[in-house]
Amino acid sequence: MGIFDIFTGDSAGEAAHQNRLMLAQNKREGTDILRQGEASSLASLDKAGGYYAPLASKYGAATTLGLDALNVNGPEGAARARAAFQASPGYDWMVDQSLEGIARKANALGVSAGGNTLAALSDRAGNLANQEYGSWLDRLQGYVSPEMAAVSGQAGAEAGKVPVYQGTASSIANLGTNTANAVANQNTQQANAEMQGSANLWGLGLNLAKLGASAFSGGTSLLGGK
């Protein structure tokens, strides 16, 4: 600080200038940090949603096949379901045992393999087939809940991005507001210092003028004479 700074406010102006530079730097660095945090958060949410994607696709294949079997997707869907259906490993054994049971009962009763016996065999086989197909449909429909959970997980990860975007935008806006207020405060301090310097200079001028007037009006000379 020079001896004449009290008359110019230069030191205050330089300090305010340096403060404004630091505020601008702080705003840039703060914004960069917020953006980096936003990017990291979004990447984590994308990763979390990615864990659910294969599950949703996997379970969705089963529920789509179930809708095909229910003829929801038309004749083509029904055809796909019939082509995909396979009886369980124990189905053939269960049918054989059931039909053999009917045949043994007919033989025990001395009934030949006539129309009634054949009808009974056909009905039993048909019922068993319907039960097997119905059981298959139930198993397919059992994947509805897991599919819903997987899709909900994906949706939750996507929805989680909203507060990240909002939080980053709010923080950057607040940083900008705080920086603007701080810069305005520095401008005010600089202006006040310059005004005070001018007042000091004006005061010095008045004092010198009074001293000169006193010297020329018969007071003590500045050179020591009367």
State the DSSP code for 87: -
Question: How far is CA 108 from its chain centroid?
Answer: 73
What integer best gives the mean pLDDT of the chain? 74
Where in the chain are the domains? Answer: 8-194
Q: How confident is the model at residue 1 (pLDDT cuts 50, 70, 90)?
A: very low
pLDDT tens for each residue of 168-190: 999 999 888 888 888 877 777 76
Q: What's at 15, amino acid-wise?
A: A
CA 186-187-193 angle, 5° bins: 90
pLDDT at res. 38: 92
pLDDT tens for each residue of 146-170: 999 999 999 999 999 999 999 999 9
Q: Is the dihedral of CA 54, 60, 65, 66 positive or negative?
A: positive
120 has pLDDT over 70: no
